[in-house]
Amino acid sequence: MCGIVGYVGRPGAPGAAAGGGAAVALEGLRRLEYRGYDSAGIAVVSEGAVAVRKRAGKLANLVELLDADPLPAAHTAIGHTRWATHGGPTDANAHPHVDGTGRVAVIHNGIVENFAALRAELRESGVEFTSETDTEVVAHLLGAQLERTGDLTEAMRAVCLRLEGAFTLLAVHADAPGVIVGARRNSPLVVGLGEGANYLGSDVAAFIAHTREALELGQDQVVTITPDAVDVVGFDGAPAQGRRFHVDWDASAAEKGGFPSFMAKEIHDQPQAIADTLLGRTDAGGRLQLDEMKISEAELRAVDKIVVIACGTAAYAGQVAKYAIEHWCRIPVEVELAHEFRYRDPVVSERTLVVAISQSGETMDTIMAVRHAREQGAKVLAICNTNGSTIPRESDAALYTHAGPEIAVASTKAFLAQITACYLLGLYLAQLRGNKFADEVADVLAQLHEVPGQVRQVLDGLEQVREIARYMADTRSVLFLGRHVGYPVAMEGALKLKELAYIHAEGFAAGELKHGPIALVEPGQPVFVVVPSPRGRDSLHSKVVSNIQEVRARGARTLVIAEQGDTEVEPYADVVIRIPRTSTLLSPLLAVVPLQVFACELATAKGLDVDQPRNLAKSVTVE
Ligand code: F6R
């Protein structure tokens, strides 16, 4: 999830920004830094040439470079702040990228799924690459098209037709001062409309300091901006129009996409986080292909045990994954809190695959566990959201979640992306080891691709949960019950409520109730219950329905998360929260969403800062 800004202005026009293109781009990047911050760069068009400055690391590094080596004065500029997907966070991989002539420069947000095939094709035609990114492919394709047509808009349109995946692209060309061409598919792009100046941004935060009039582009559209005009066409060349709107947010609300907090925004972004994590994982024949999986196929076939190491929410993602991986691959899976792992002399060998899950990639407990596992001869695969961070760097292989930067301290979208990545790993192993036929793998993948839309459906139907949360702002204790994959979901629901709303909360395996925790239930005690699908193993469903009855009989107020059409829960539920039908193994991706929203809303109703809860840090870099 990178940040993108573009600016074209007519010098002296009322809306043209003082300071010129590079200054406007830099200011936009400052406001977009929340979208990614592992490298940044700017390109300007000046005196018949394109000039580029880019640097790995925070924006401050780029500022330092610009101070030492300023860009020429220009009124056409594009800027990019990166959240690495293809290729680590280095100077070479930072955007903008240029073609072989250096006369066209491109920035990109998203993932070009077919970049490997395009790269091979370009290499064959003699192109030399200077980065590991998918974006550079676009720069070279554009360069080649421009040689043919000489028209940047036409070239962009032709190139987009060759790209698969999700992308927002901006391009400038040395021969076209005062022109920026943008394009979008499955990734956002907004135009800022000024007077004698126009802007482009991955969101309105990029240009909110200059204009509040904006145009949202539709899917598969190309936009050409000059200081005085904005023209939109579809990828098919047909004239098109964006949706015009007025932005009435202030700058800080703009960064949060109009949501009251980063947490609310990140919960809302979850469908995209899952969709992006699924992008680019299959080859042309639909076979699962995890390019980042650098452990040999022979070693993966020989694996006789998987140990997942992680902390907090990431460990709950691992617990969900255990059910799926064991079921699909018939390999035993242990899930261990990373800080416990190395102190108990764990039994690992060179046939053990250790999976380290971490959003930040910098959690010290997990880093130490990774080091210990490797010392014992195990292969370590990192599932991580932060390219270039310590955990993937120190692991044998990495599978990146593409959730984009998570700013709120408590994890939400990373959790769903981690489960998705674990499922990709499970299916890949099942395919490789022959536990599943290709059509079975394809079937689960197809179901996974439906999940983003289903999460959106859940998010759209949660007004009742928000109301309940506001009404329950004074609650002192909440219990969460689940069984099978619903058990880690219950624990995650409890964790979210503890850390956001500072309310005592416990997640239990529903079957464990009768062994002790049921003593906690007294009249009025709120109990959330995550109910498995009645279409799954029926004993599981009916057992959980019995558990609801047991707590209800003791006076509990039951808030039941159940699949659409599950009427059996109704007699015992004070409140039923519906989620769409999906398979049991995929249901955590839906069932956890109401619990996240409940915690976020309740904490907000208490007047708490949901983005920075007390006593917590986003990245726990001490043991
Ligand atoms: C809870 C939360 C934490 C993290 C844990 C691991 O909302 O955010 O429990 O999940 O500290 O962090 P990462 O995934 O960065 O290793």
Helices and strands (H, E) in the chain, number of each type:
19, 25
The mean pLDDT of 271-295, rounded to a whole number, is 87
Q: How far is the CA of 73 from the centre of ligand 1 (A)?
A: 44
Distance, in Å, from the CA atom of 166 to the CA atom of 189, rounded to the nearest integer, reads 12
> What is the predicted pLDDT for the residue at 18?
66
Give the mean pLDDT of the chain. 93
Q: DSSP character for 436?
A: S
Q: Which atom of ligand 1 is nearest to the CA of 618?
A: 8
Q: Which atom of ligand 1 is nearest to the CA of 499?
A: 7
Ligand 1 touching residue 620 (CB < 6 A): yes
Q: Which residue has the higher pLDDT, 587 or 254?
A: 587
Ligand 1 touching residue 315 (CB < 6 A): no
Residue bearing the CA closest to ligand 1, atom 7: 410
> What is the predicted pLDDT for the residue at 15?
63
pLDDT band at 538 (very low <50, low <70, confident <90, very high): low
How many CB atoms sit inside 10 A of residue 614's CB? 9
DSSP letters spanning 168-217: EEEEEETT-TT-EEEEEESS--EEEE-SSEEEEESSGGGTTTT-SEEEE-
The mean pLDDT of 336-361, rounded to a whole number, is 94
Q: Which atom of ligand 1 is nearest to the CA of 314?
A: 10
Distance, in Å, from the CA atom of 4 to the CA atom of 190, rounded to the nearest integer, reads 10
Compute φ and ψ for 41, nearest 5 degrees: -165, 160
Residue bearing the CA closest to ligand 1, atom 9: 312
- 533: pLDDT strictly greater than 80: yes
Structure tokens that stand for 41 in this block:
């760069």
pLDDT band at 398 (very low <50, low <70, confident <90, very high): very high
pTM over 0.95: no
pLDDT tens for residues 233-273?
A: 999 999 998 889 888 777 777 778 889 999 999 999 999 99
> What is the predicted pLDDT for the residue at 36?
65
Distance, in Å, from the CA atom of 254 to the CA atom of 38, rounded to the nearest integer, reads 21
pLDDT band at 128 (very low <50, low <70, confident <90, very high): very high
Give the residue, out of 620, 621, 622, 623, with the most ligand 1 atoms within 8 A of its beta carbon, to mutate for a pocket test.
Answer: 620
pLDDT tens for residues 489-505?
A: 999 999 999 999 999 99
Ligand 1 touching residue 367 (CB < 6 A): no
Give the residue, out of 266, 313, 409, with the most ligand 1 atoms within 8 A of its beta carbon, to mutate for a pocket test.
Answer: 313
pLDDT tens for residues 21-34?
A: 999 999 999 888 77
Q: Which atom of ligand 1 is nearest to the CA of 366?
A: 16
Give the residue, out of 308, 320, 359, 394, with the most ligand 1 atoms within 8 A of its beta carbon, to mutate for a pocket test.
Answer: 359
Give the residue, out of 319, 389, 411, with the most ligand 1 atoms within 8 A of its beta carbon, to mutate for a pocket test.
Answer: 411
Tell me the HSE value of 287 on the side-chain side, using a 13 A CA sphere. Answer: 10
pLDDT band at 292 (very low <50, low <70, confident <90, very high): confident
pLDDT band at 63 (very low <50, low <70, confident <90, very high): very high
Q: How far is the CA of 498 from the centre of ligand 1 (A)?
A: 14
Q: How far is the CA of 389 from the centre of ligand 1 (A)?
A: 15
Coil/strand/helix, residue 133: coil
- 17: pLDDT strictly greater than 70: no
Q: Which atom of ligand 1 is nearest to the CA of 363?
A: 16
pLDDT tens for residues 107-117?
A: 999 889 898 99
Distance, in Å, from the CA atom of 182 to the CA atom of 201, rounded to the nearest integer, reads 10
Distance, in Å, from the CA atom of 358 to the CA atom of 374, rounded to the nearest integer, reads 17
The mean pLDDT of 86-90, rounded to a whole number, is 83
Distance, in Å, from the CA atom of 409 to the CA atom of 425, rounded to the nearest integer, reads 26
Backbone torsion region of residue 54, taken as left when φ is above 0, otherwise alpha when ψ lies between -120 and 50, otherwise beta = beta
- 390: pLDDT strictly greater than 70: yes
Q: Which atom of ligand 1 is nearest to the CA of 418?
A: 14
Distance, in Å, from the CA atom of 169 to the CA atom of 313, rounded to the nearest integer, reads 34
Ligand 1 touching residue 412 (CB < 6 A): no
> What is the predicted pLDDT for the residue at 614?
87
Ligand 1 touching residue 499 (CB < 6 A): yes
- 483: pLDDT strictly greater than 90: yes
In 3D space, the residue among 502, 513, 489 whose CA is nearest the CA of residue 577 turns out to be 489
Pairing of the two strands 239-240 and 230-234: antiparallel
Give the residue, out of 311, 387, 413, with the most ligand 1 atoms within 8 A of its beta carbon, to mutate for a pocket test.
Answer: 311
Q: How far is the CA of 316 from the centre of ligand 1 (A)?
A: 10
Structure tokens that stand for 136 in this block:
């550079």
Ligand 1 touching residue 312 (CB < 6 A): yes
Structural domains of the chain ordered from first start: 3-250 (3.60.20.10), 262-454 (3.40.50.10490), 463-605 (3.40.50.10490)
Largest CA distance in the chain: 80
Ligand 1 touching residue 39 (CB < 6 A): no
Q: Calculate the CA 311 to chain-centre distance.
A: 19
- 468: pLDDT strictly greater than 90: yes
pLDDT band at 49 (very low <50, low <70, confident <90, very high): very high
pLDDT tens for residues 201-234?
A: 988 888 988 999 999 898 899 999 999 999 999 9
- 576: pLDDT strictly greater than 90: yes
Q: How far is the CA of 360 from the centre of ligand 1 (A)?
A: 8
pLDDT band at 3 (very low <50, low <70, confident <90, very high): confident
> What is the predicted pLDDT for the residue at 16?
67
Ligand 1 touching residue 360 (CB < 6 A): yes
The mean pLDDT of 427-452, rounded to a whole number, is 95
pLDDT band at 404 (very low <50, low <70, confident <90, very high): confident
319 and 487 in contact (C-beta within 8 Å)? yes
Ligand 1 touching residue 584 (CB < 6 A): no
- 536: pLDDT strictly greater than 80: no
Ligand 1 touching residue 410 (CB < 6 A): yes
> What is the predicted pLDDT for the residue at 103?
96
> What is the predicted pLDDT for the residue at 414?
97
SS (H, E, C) 290-337: CCCCCCCHHHHHHCCEEEEEECHHHHHHHHHHHHHHHHHHCCCEEEEE
**Percent of the chain scoring above 70 in pLDDT:** 98
E strand or H helix that includes residue 605: helix 588-605
Q: Which atom of ligand 1 is nearest to the CA of 360?
A: 15
Q: How far is the CA of 43 from the centre of ligand 1 (A)?
A: 36
Verify cis geometry, omega within 30 degrees of 0, for the bond prior to 188: no
How big is the chain by its Cα radius of gyration, in Å?
Answer: 25
Catalytic positions are: 2, 618
pLDDT tens for residues 158-174?
A: 999 999 988 999 999 99
Ligand 1 touching residue 366 (CB < 6 A): yes
Distance, in Å, from the CA atom of 257 to the CA atom of 232, rounded to the nearest integer, reads 23
Distances (CA, A) of 376 to 172, 206, 232, 349: 52, 48, 58, 6
